[in-house]
Amino acid sequence: MDYLKRSKELFDESLSHRRFLHQIPEIGLNCTQTMNYIEKQILEIGCQPVRCGSGIVVTLGKQSGKTILLRSDVDALPMKEESELPFRSQCENAHTCGHDFHGAMMLTAAKMLKENEGSLKGCIKLMFQPGEETFMGSKDMVAHGLLSDPEPDVCLAYHVSSGNTPVGLFMYNDSSTMMNSSDNFTIEIIGKGSHGAYPESGIDPINIACHLVLALESIIAREVTSNTANVLTIGKIEAGDAGNIIPNEAKLYGTLRCDNNEQREFILKRLNEVSSSIAASFRGSAKVILTSGTPPLICDKKSVDDFVKYMKELPVENQMGINGIHAGASDDLAVILQKIPGAYMYLSAGFTDGREVYAQHHPKVVFNEDVLISGPAYLAHCATRWLEENC
């Protein structure tokens, strides 16, 4: 099948999927409306959707031979959309990371693959995943059997990107970390409350928190290799009720991003040690609670090289690939890529007409819908070609 030609024919359907999903953004693992819509569309094309934890899995092709996993994350962000799109969000959440595109691309790819199912050499497994933004979705689906019956041999995922780069550009990394790990944490600091005029009668957790913020910066500046991309940020401090009261406790909320597992493990260890020792030096105590996390995203070179080759077989307008991309952001596909080889790539959904553009996660961000032609075609073509060469 000429997937690019067919994707052009199905462009209006892809638009419809994207615009419907855009209006019902849901967050975390509880994406009920989104999953119900996906389930309905999958049934209409003659496939059988299977609930896998909080997500949905669809299997096409033969049960024998090799299996390729295609992943689409479909959750949104807990923020108000401020775009002027006529189909903007109808609730307090927003698809400002482009996951509505991912769902639409996968639905159209599923339709094309179903139409071509008789010619497929092996098995294709489609993964509709919630909870990427909270780094819980991949773990949830893996725990519910995603990687079994059948077990995938390779994985492919795309993520759209906003900005002023043209549709047709795709970005990847075949030799090093593509996306950093992410560990979100809370540090609970316990002191002893007292009157603000008599601090000696208490243990000031705010004072401990301030010293701790500075001490944690020294881990990055003085204890890890300077040529690695490690970032530790404290983004929120929570303490107290009034200016003349020393509270009993304070909380620090932060995130750690690392480009390799060795540095990640070391910094997490030091995060606990420094928090405890700084608090103890002021007669208090501190406990680090990891609230969510995902490892660095590292692609398999052979898989990347194979998929780039297949992508270049399609005569996509303005097609250009850029290697060596490293993003400070994170994606929990990394959990799966620790278990099976695979590739993750960015597809530009930007504009080059001079309009004002915004970054992903910005309330006014808008993505170029023209990517809904090449995106589904890439998914279907790469899956088909990989099976042809590996079964």
Annotated binding residues for Mn(2+), as ranges? 97, 99, 133, 159, 361
**Helix or strand or coil: residue 169?**
strand
CA distance 38 to 173: 30
Cis check: omega of the bond before 150, within 30 degrees of 0: yes
Alpha helices in 82-204 (DSSP H): 99-115, 137-143
Query: Which residues, at least 6 apart from 187, have a Cβ–Cβ distance to it below 8 Å?
Result: 209, 212, 251, 252, 253, 254, 275, 286, 287, 288, 289
CA distance 253 to 153: 38
Evaluated on CA atoms 84, 90, 92, 96, the torsion sign reads: negative
140: Cα within 13 Å, side-chain hemisphere? 22
DSSP 152: P
CA distance 267 to 280: 20
Q: Comparing C-alpha atoms, which of 216, 295, 204, 297 is closest to residue 253?
A: 216
206: Cα within 13 Å, side-chain hemisphere? 15
CA distance 150 to 121: 15
Q: Comparing C-alpha atoms, which of 56, 180, 186, 77 is closest to residue 134?
A: 77
Q: Comparing C-alpha atoms, which of 385, 353, 388, 381 is closest to residue 368?
A: 353
CA distance 164 to 349: 9
Query: Which residues, at least 6 apart from 70, have a Cβ–Cβ distance to it below 8 Å?
Result: 106, 109, 124, 125, 126, 127, 155, 156, 157, 379, 383
Could you give phi then psi for residue 373, rounded to 5 degrees?
-90, -55
